[in-house]
Amino acid sequence: MKRTPAAPLSVWRPLNLDHFLLGVPHYPEHIEEDLWKSDAERMAAAGFNVVRLGEFAWHLFEPREGVFDFALFDRAIEVLGAAGIQTIFCTPTATPPRWLTVAYPEVLRMDERDRVATHGSRQHADTNSAVYRRHSKRITEALATHYRDNPHVIGWQTDNELNTTVSTSYSEETQAAFRRYLEDRYATIDSLNFAWGGNFWATAYDSFEQITAPRAFNPGFASPGHVQDYHRFLADATAAFQHDQVEILRRTNPDWFIFHNLGRLEDIDFRGQFGQDLDFLGFDIYPMLYDEMRRTGGHPATQALHLDVCRAYSGNFIVPEQASGFGSQPGFSTMTPEPGEMRRMALSSVARGADGLLFFRWRPAHFGAEIYWMGIIDHDDLPRRRYREAMAFAQDIARIKDALKGTTVRMDVAIAGADFDNQEAYRTYPMGMPSPLEDGAILHRHCYENGVACGFIHPADDLSRVKLLYIPHWVMWKSEWDANIEAFVRNGGTLVVGAMTGTRDENNHIPRTLAPGPGLAALCGVRVEEFGRVAEPGADGLFGMPGPDFGLNTPAQRLPASSSQRRYRFTLGNSEYNAAHLYELLETDGDVEALGQWSNRFLGGRAAISRRRVGSGQAIYVGTYLTGALVEALAEHLFSDAGIEPLVPNLPANVEVSLREADGRKLLFLLNTDEARTELTDTPAGTDLLTGELVSRSLVLGPYGCSVIQLSE
């Protein structure tokens, strides 16, 4: 395996490995040794080249403190290696052994209600704990040294889905670490009191020693500055925990690649040190977990959304775990991919930037908290449809891998993403409004359904390939991004800024100038003079609020939607639309046109959506939140002027499209996400790399059928 140095973080970054990693997470410790050889041979026959091992096996590597035993994994790696299957090893720190939690109970996490985590599941140890960090370094050092010269071990995954089960901790040790973090950040207690607004509700402190971690509703709302810094601290501590391991692995064998597998994206700043320490990110994708969530539009759209969000952090990625079959833990179960769908889901991941993919998992477990989580082969040791589909996917990869190398995912429409501070700032003070991601997802969904190349990008990233950039009400807009955004607009880009953007500074204070802050106000020619809530049917600010219900939030006490509820409406073109969540009253400069106008009540006649032409581009400000109808209208008014066309015209419903490109090479992925056969009538000309056939205009996709067309010009 050849690995080149990782380029700086960017959504446009290709992977730095020379071949596509393809295989399964595997747990030889779960199965009798006499089955290992046939497992390895069947993996090789399927076309796999790698397994991921060891993430939950610390108790086997170190059965007693300081006593190491790698024999079981040495044998497993050897058997796999003999069949041509290489190994990605994991640091096993998601599951410290029982002897460790007995001898060092202080490493256990403590939850918000001061309950100490019990031994018996996973992620019970506190990655903020200095004592736990010492053990994490010990086991990493021991494993790294042992496998340094093993030719079959090619790279490492740190831990497993850090912070996915739980990210917070309230133990004394963690709170002491929080205080040290604050002292480093602020140096004096006066600076901290200023940042957190100590004169509000007497929240000022005399010294750092007095500070505790914020707790939700205990009894009321904590200061946004306090909450934001607690989450900054958790992200900092998570990065430091991983950094310990990365430092050891890099020092031991600089040829190894290192990644982490993302789970729930809690309290990790991927564009910070955490992501900079890695060669690339891994994203575990379980689309069927989201099937029941109406707002997400079903699992194909959700998978695309999640992978596009992930790509914004650091570019192409691998999928270390891709759902293969029915999945469950004791409290839930997922839908099951239908025949052909597992392969389609895997190709969807590739279409959106995966340059490696491991199907979760080789074998299902016969014991433990995931006994019904299916693998590639079944409990009776027989390979059935999932094995055949994995093999078909491996053949697909063999056919496309050369053309795929070095390509990145096309993105004409981009949504601002990947910013830790903005994600957290929203959560410190949500007010019952949608999050930036929920708002941006409405635009993403429109693009997904209409075949427009769309994704997420950080505003400090290279914007030159993007045609339209939407900023979904990022309250903590930073002036250091202004120049990049202005250049984007001057060079022909269309910028669309959503309501509430730039309403706070880094301390979560409201500045003394009007939103959206000096840079964006000048670029858009707009200042927000007033804002107010828009009543949604059946909800208002209090009812929409997360957290305790104050005894009010019961169906019987909900107010019925009535005609007296205020709706604010605006026109755009010849149609009228309802504002969503919030209205804003805009003060506009002389060179600003009102693209949309408020049309009723006291707002009537004022600009609702403004446009300023700047250089060869335009800066648009939208004084409300997105709805599906508003997105459609914006697309109609802005897309073709901005040079945005669907990748394929007249795309049938349920067909997903994405383009990967580099140096004039263009690979068009067309994936049928449904069981009904479908026909495209306007496919661009090229060669379907999966079948070798020439394609032009008409293309039939069978149930969950897939094509990867290398376009002719």
Q: Catalytic site residues?
A: 161, 321
Task: Based on the shown chain and the rule CB under 6 A, indicate whether residue 160 belongs to the binding site for ligand GAL.
Answer: yes
Say how far apart CA 497 and CA 471 lie, in whole Å: 5
| Residue of 284, 412, 505, 584 interacting with ligand GAL (CB under 6 A) | 284
Say how far apart CA 430 and CA 416 lie, in whole Å: 18
Task: Based on the shown chain and the rule CB under 6 A, indicate whether residue 229 belongs to the binding site for ligand GAL.
Answer: no
**With the C-alpha atoms ordered 314, 320, 321, 324, is the resulting torsion angle positive or negative?**
positive
Helix (H) / strand (E) element for 131: namely helix 130-147
CA nearest to 634, candidates 666, 611, 661, 664: 611
CA distances from 318 to 21, 207, 217, 257, 269 (A): 8, 46, 39, 12, 18
| 3 state SS for 462-475 | CCCCCCEEEECCCC
Tell me the closest approach of the beta carbon of residue 288 to ligand GAL, in angstroms. 11
Tell me the closest approach of the beta carbon of residue 439 to ligand GAL, in angstroms. 26
Tokens read off for 17: 């490995």
| 3 state SS for 608-649 | EEEEEEECCEEEEEECCCCCHHHHHHHHHHHHCCCCCCCCCC
Task: Select 54 or 493, whichever has its Cβ closest to ligand GAL.
Answer: 54
Tell me the closest approach of the beta carbon of residue 287 to ligand GAL, in angstroms. 13
Q: Say whether 46 sits in a helix, a strand or coil.
A: helix
CA nearest to 515, candidates 569, 457, 471: 471
Tell me the closest approach of the beta carbon of residue 120 to ligand GAL, in angstroms. 15
Say how far apart CA 634 and CA 318 lie, in whole Å: 34
The answer to whether residues 626 and 498 touch, using CB atoms and an 8 Å cutoff, is yes
Tokens read off for 682: 């306007």
> Residue with CB nearest ligand GAL?
161
The separation between the first and the last C-alpha atoms of the chain, rounded to the nearest angstrom, is: 32
DSSP secondary structure, 380-446, as one string = TS-B-HHHHHHHHHHHHHHHHHHHHTT-EE--SEEEE---HHHHHHHHHS-TTPPPHHHHHHHHHHH
Tell me the closest approach of the beta carbon of residue 361 to ligand GAL, in angstroms. 8
Task: Based on the shown chain and the rule CB under 6 A, indicate whether residue 159 belongs to the binding site for ligand GAL.
Answer: no
The answer to whether residues 345 and 287 touch, using CB atoms and an 8 Å cutoff, is yes
User: Please, which residues bridge with residue 424 across strands?
Assistant: none
Tell me the closest approach of the beta carbon of residue 329 to ligand GAL, in angstroms. 6
Q: Is the peptide bond before 138 cis (omega within 30 degrees of 0)?
A: no
Task: Based on the shown chain and the rule CB under 6 A, indicate whether residue 321 belongs to the binding site for ligand GAL.
Answer: yes
Q: Look up tokens 């071949």; give the residue.
A: 19
Tell me the closest approach of the beta carbon of residue 598 to ligand GAL, in angstroms. 46
Q: Which stretch binds ligand GAL (CB under 6 A): 13-21, 321-329, 379-387, 569-577?
A: 321-329
Task: Select 306 or 458, whichever has its Cβ closest to ligand GAL.
Answer: 306
Q: What backbone phi and psi angles, to 5 degrees, belong to 95?
A: -140, 80
User: In sequence order, which residues have a C-beta less than 8 Å from that of residue 563 and are 6 or more positions away?
Assistant: none
**Exposed/middle/buried for 501, CB within 10 Å: 0-12, 13-18, 19+?**
buried
Say how far apart CA 520 and CA 161 lie, in whole Å: 36
Task: Based on the shown chain and the rule CB under 6 A, indicate whether residue 161 belongs to the binding site for ligand GAL.
Answer: yes
Helix (H) / strand (E) element for 53: namely strand 50-53
Task: Based on the shown chain and the rule CB under 6 A, indicate whether residue 462 belongs to the binding site for ligand GAL.
Answer: no
Strand (E) positions, 518-568? 526-533
Q: Look up tokens 């109609």; give the residue.
A: 636
User: Please, which residues bridge with residue 322 across strands?
Assistant: 285, 359
User: In sequence order, which residues have a C-beta less than 8 Å from that of residue 204 and are 6 or more positions away?
Assistant: 193, 198
Q: Look up tokens 């032409």; give the residue.
A: 613
CA nearest to 593, candidates 524, 660, 505: 524
Task: Based on the shown chain and the rule CB under 6 A, indicate whether residue 214 belongs to the binding site for ligand GAL.
Answer: no
Helix (H) / strand (E) element for 240: namely helix 224-252
For the packed helices 298-314 and 341-351, what is the interaxial angle rounded to 10 degrees?
30
| Residue of 54, 92, 214, 263 interacting with ligand GAL (CB under 6 A) | 263
Tell me the closest approach of the beta carbon of residue 319 to ligand GAL, in angstroms. 12
User: Please, which residues bridge with residue 695 across strands?
Assistant: 686
Counting residues that bind ligand GAL (by CB under 6 A) gives: 10
Say how far apart CA 88 and CA 258 lie, in whole Å: 9
DSSP secondary structure, 91-126, as one string = --TTS--HHHHHH-GGGB-B-TT-PBPPSSSSS-B-
CA nearest to 580, candidates 433, 426, 425: 433
| Residue of 156, 373, 393, 474 interacting with ligand GAL (CB under 6 A) | 373
Task: Select 165 or 599, whichever has its Cβ closest to ligand GAL.
Answer: 165
Task: Based on the shown chain and the rule CB under 6 A, indicate whether residue 158 belongs to the binding site for ligand GAL.
Answer: no
Q: Say whether 348 sits in a helix, a strand or coil.
A: helix
| Residue of 370, 378, 482, 645 interacting with ligand GAL (CB under 6 A) | 370
Residues engaged in binding ligand GAL (CB under 6 A):
160-161, 263, 284, 321, 327, 329, 360, 370, 373
